[in-house]
Structure 1
Amino acid sequence: MPSVLPLGDPAPSDGLLPAQAADGAAGRAFGLYVHIPFCAVRCGYCDFNTYTATELGGGASQDAYAQTAVSEVALAANVLAGSGLPERKLSTVFFGGGTPTLLPADDLALILRAAIDHWGIEDGAEVTTEANPDSVTPESLAVLKEAGFTRVSFGMQSAVPHVLKVLDRTHTPSRVPHVVQWAREAGLAVSLDLIYGTPGETLADWRHSLETALSYQPDHISAYALIVEEGTKLAAQMRRGEVPGIDDDDHADKYELADQLITEAGLGWYEVSNWARTPDQACRHNLAYWRGDDWWGIGPGAHSHVGGVRWWNVKHPSAYANRLSQGLSPAAGRETLDAETRNLEKVMLEARLQSGLEVSTLSAAGRHEVAGLIAGGLVEPAAAFRGRLVLTLKGRLLADAVVRRILPD
């Protein structure tokens, strides 16, 4: 969750949603995001709403957090029912952070059980937790599997020690194959998250990280370009000239190499930065975000979206816990998206998917741009002939520019 909350309208203290949130809800998937805001150390590039133990005050202890999150689960169930939403089972659950696995596995299981008790869960539902390689054991992974988790996403980031050092990652590369093996022995699917473009990372370093990750035969890989946000340690280091800045050409070279090697290893892209071994192993929770389904975000700073209503919780764990202890919604603000904004977001997000975007979604001006995008090698001609806009490899490299061309001014 980003560390800066957006502006918006005040959220009601009871959390109840406007009537429009229920429109068409029966046809939308419903998922749960659980934000665990704790980290052992703050990574130099991280702009998420996370805290180390030394940054937290009273009322925000890790020991008490699971019960606090369970309180929001109960509130969420009451709000949805009281707002006229139909009963829907959970289709996906995603624990993110922070480092969710800094909490005991039993605590994560407690939160998941509470959610299932309130909503139920679909057969074959996807339940994921993020994890750092140094925050799990064979025993903790077995507890998660027993509780109903189905996959784990490890923050590998790199296989090169000097790159991990710049990123302030605490694990060693040699730890990763062990945790992958433990997860598989527990019966969990495995995703590996990688970052490219770290200052000082060469193309050879990146190739080594990719080849190493692929040698573990993960079910899923995410590869994201490093974005340096203002206010982070790494941004300050760049301003002082202690590390080199970001190079867009370097990012492009590394993305092309990632796509080549990951594809050759048998995984296919389904979103610009994500590849899965089979379509069933794509991250369904993230697909729900990109397709505009409904989800409730549990935790400080967590964002939610139901039927075009979007809201976000207060940032600090202490404020979050205090509001819930008073029986109040922890929401800090919210906005109701109009039809134009929802369509704009649909274009921005679905254009990044391998399944593509319906060309009919676009305005007349946007549809007029498609022929030029095909001529420029940015959009697949065969898909466009079928009425869908699907990016080529070149188009994925320039995805933001493609979206700007097909959206109205």
Structure 2
Amino acid sequence: MTPREVAADLPALQPRPDQPFGLYVHVPFCVTRCGYCDFNTYTPAELGGVNPDAWLLALRTELGLAAARLHAPTVDTVFVGGGTPSLLGGERLATLLDMVREYFVLAPDVEITTEANPESTWPEFFDAIRAAGYTRVSLGMQSVAPNVLATLDRVHSPGRSAAAAAEAMAAGFEHVSLDLIYGTPGESDEDLLCSVDAALETGVDHVSAYALVVEEGTALARRVGRGELAAPDDDVLAHRYELVDARLSAAGMSWYEVSNWSRPGGECRHNLGYWAGGQWWGAGPGAHGFVDATRWWNVKHPNAYAQLLADAALPVAGFEQLGADALHAEDVLLTMRLRQGLPMSRLDAAERERAEAVVSDGLLTFDGDRVVLTGHGRLLADAVVRTVLG
């Protein structure tokens, strides 16, 4: 089926009023491709005719079509991700937000986040996006160890992430997040702890930490396949996670999702919407959306995306409608990752019995009528969910 035929078959999308509604905007531009990254991003040499201004024009059309399809629900959170949104610069990011306001009503307490690469930010950039209405910035720190940054093909200097965080806070951002990656080949425990300490010293209110995954088709995967680099070891990754958790917890940050820690009030509401069964429209090349029981995804390449929208056609590449069993499995999978855990009432009798067996194994614990992952259980979260679901 062509994208136009897929869009014609896309079911009516009616957001549920009892769930938060978010808007995700995917920016597909990067200066270079990091060796570990398999996101839908493109360097200038890969783009052909689509530049940021042409992409913005196409995005405006998609936002208008989305608002009409959804009957313009109130938006609780906006998240601009990528790619490298900061490559748009402050003026274009402000224009993007103006386009969102043109078609959607934003909640009075709306959370508006943009991701940013420290190397493409500066004080005036943060001043501009704060004045435009952005409330939260997520910066890719990854590490402060030069050898780790080199292995990951990151172009920013070891100290630039901390400097960028300071600039964001000076511009008036109360909510700033730093993202770390652990388990890179050649990384030591000391490398990781230095990175965690550097993040804490900035005073940000949120830290995310992700285990390095060697994704098929990436430059990193090719290097591992040739034997140039060792594949991440599961036991080492578990140990590094425990180091991160202990250091952040000792500094007053609490985990609220398996890979995310924050100070009180610093949680990312947009991501919580994903984990708590919320709904969102995904705009931009390759973006995914989810409303009621329908999930859909856009065409990946910015050129195809722009061409479809030039004809006022939704750039939908495919969709699926989830049945009750699939919705239940996703509910258990996502909710189990959260600190508040999963209400036992959302499990059937067989699942409750299996959950109680996992409690006896020390991977889950009871908190009132909920089951919550233990510290060891967080290391095996996916396996715990598979066991409970049977």
Do the two structures share a fold, i.e. TM-score over 0.5?
yes
Of 365, 368, 373 in structure 1, the residue corresponding to residue 358 of structure 2 is 373
Match of 2:373 in 1: 391
Query: Which residue does 1:3 correspond to in 2?
Result: none
Deviation at 1:258, TM superposition (A): 0.5
Determine the C-alpha separation between the residues in 2 that align with 1:208 and 1:104: 30
Match of 1:331 in 2: 316
Structure 2 partner of 1:129: 114
Q: 2:137 aligns with which of 143, 152, 155?
A: 152
Conservation of the 8 A alpha-carbon contact between 1:9 and 1:333: no
User: Are 1:18 and 2:3 counterparts?
Assistant: no
Q: Which stretch shows the higher mean deviation, 66-75 or 307-316?
A: 66-75
What does 1:42-53 correspond to in 2, within 5 Å? 42-53=33-44
Select which of 241, 266, 273 maps to 1:255.
241
Q: Kindly indicate whether the alpha-carbon contact (under 8 Å) linking 1:92 and 1:125 is maintained by their aligned counterparts in 2.
A: yes
Amino acid at match of 1:379: L
Q: Give secondary structure in 2 for the equivalent of 1:246.
A: coil
3-state secondary structure, aligned to 1:134: helix
Is residue 74 of structure 1 aligned with residue 64 of structure 2?
Answer: yes
Contact 1:66 1:108 in 2 (8 A): no
Q: Which of these residues, 29, 48, 52, is aligned with residue 57 of structure 1?
A: 48
What runs of 5+ residues in structure 1 fail to find an aligned partner? 1-7, 82-86
Q: Is the 8 A contact 1:155 1:192 kept in 2?
A: yes
Instruction: Map residues 28-177 of structure 1 onto 2, 5 A cutoff.
Output: 28-58=19-49, 60-81=50-71, 87-177=72-162
Structure 1 residues 22-59: Cα deviation after superposition (integer angstroms, max 9, x where no partner): 2x71112111000000111000000000000011112x
CA distance in 2, matches of 1:145, 1:10: 37
Q: Aligned partners of 1:232, 1:97: CA distance in 2, in Å?
A: 17
Structure 1 residues 14, 148: closer, same or farther in 2, change over 3 A? same
Determine which of 189, 201, 218 is the counterpart of 2:204: 218
Within 5 A, what are the aligned runs for 1:227-238?
A: 227-238=213-224
Q: Any idea what SS the aligned residue of 1:305 has?
A: strand
Q: Which deviates more, 61-70 or 252-261?
A: 61-70
**Does the alignment pair 1:355 with 2:340?**
yes
Q: Secondary structure at the match of 2:326?
A: helix
Return closer, same or farther for 1:15/1:277 CA change in 2, 3 Å cut-off: farther
* Residues 43, 167 of structure 1: 8 Å contact kept: yes
Contact 1:90 1:116 in 2 (8 A): no
The alpha carbon displacement at 1:364 in A equals 1.9
What is the aligned partner in structure 2 of residue 5 from structure 1?
none
Aligned with 2:113: secondary structure? strand
Question: Cα gap change, 1:29/1:9 in structure 2, threshold over 3 Å: closer, same or farther?
Answer: farther
What SS does the corresponding residue of 1:286 show, helix, strand or coil? Answer: helix
CA distance in 1, matches of 2:100, 2:69: 14
Q: Contact 1:270 / 1:282 at 8 angstroms: preserved in 2?
A: yes
CA distance in 1, matches of 2:10, 2:249: 43
Partner SS state of residue 213, structure 2: coil
In the alignment, structure 1 residue 275 sits paired with structure 2 residue 257: no
Distance 2:214 2:89 in 1: 31
Aligned residue type for 1:156: M
Residue 202 of structure 1 pairs with residue 188 of structure 2: yes
Which residue identity lines up with residue 74 of structure 2 in the other structure? K
* CA RMSD between the two structures: 1.6
Q: How far is the alpha carbon of 1:15 from its aligned partner?
A: 5.7
CA deviations 1:197-226 (Å, max 9, x no partner) are 001101111111111111112110000000
Give, as a single letter, the amino acid of the residue that structure 1 aligns with 2:185. Answer: P
AA aligned opposite 2:327: R
3-state SS of paired residue (1:51) = coil
After superposition, the Cα gap between the structure-2 partners of 1:9 and 1:356, relative to the gap in structure 1 and judged at 3 Å, is farther
After superposition, what is the alpha-carbon deviation per residue over 1:148-199, rounded to whole angstroms, capped at 9, x for unaligned?
A: 1001000000010000000000100121222111101111121000000001
Q: Secondary structure at the match of 1:204?
A: helix
Tell me the distance in 1 between the aligned counterparts of 2:349 and 2:212: 35
1:294 is the counterpart of 2:279: yes
Kindly indicate whether residue 386 of structure 2 is the aligned counterpart of residue 400 of structure 1: no
Q: Any conservation in 1 of the 2:137–2:168 contact (CA below 8 Å)?
A: yes
Note the C-alpha offset of 1:108: 1.3
Q: Is the 8 A contact 1:191 1:222 kept in 2?
A: yes
Q: C-alpha offsets along residues 341-376 of structure 1, whole Å, 9 cap, x if unaligned? A: 101100011000001111121232211012222222
Residue by residue over 1:242-301, the C-alpha shift from the partner in whole angstroms, topping out at 9 and shown as x without a partner, is 0111100100110001000001111110000000101x2101101111112110111000
CA contact (8 A) 2:67 2:73 kept: no
Instruction: Give the Å deviation of 1:117.
Output: 2.0
CA distance in 1, matches of 2:73, 2:371: 31
Hey, what's the Cα distance between the residues in 2 that align with 1:402 and 1:173?
Answer: 37
Q: CA deviation at 1:104?
A: 2.0
Distance 1:9 1:283 in 2: 36
- C-alpha distance in 1 between matches for 2:183 and 2:153: 15
Q: Which amino acid in structure 2 is aligned with residue 387 of structure 1? A: D
Deviation at residue 9 of structure 1 after TM alignment:
10
C-alpha separation between the residues in 2 aligned to 1:163 and 1:220? Answer: 22
CA contact under 8 A between 1:33 and 1:297: conserved in structure 2? yes
What is the CA–CA distance in structure 1 between the aligned matches of 2:266 and 2:101, rounded to whole Å? Answer: 22
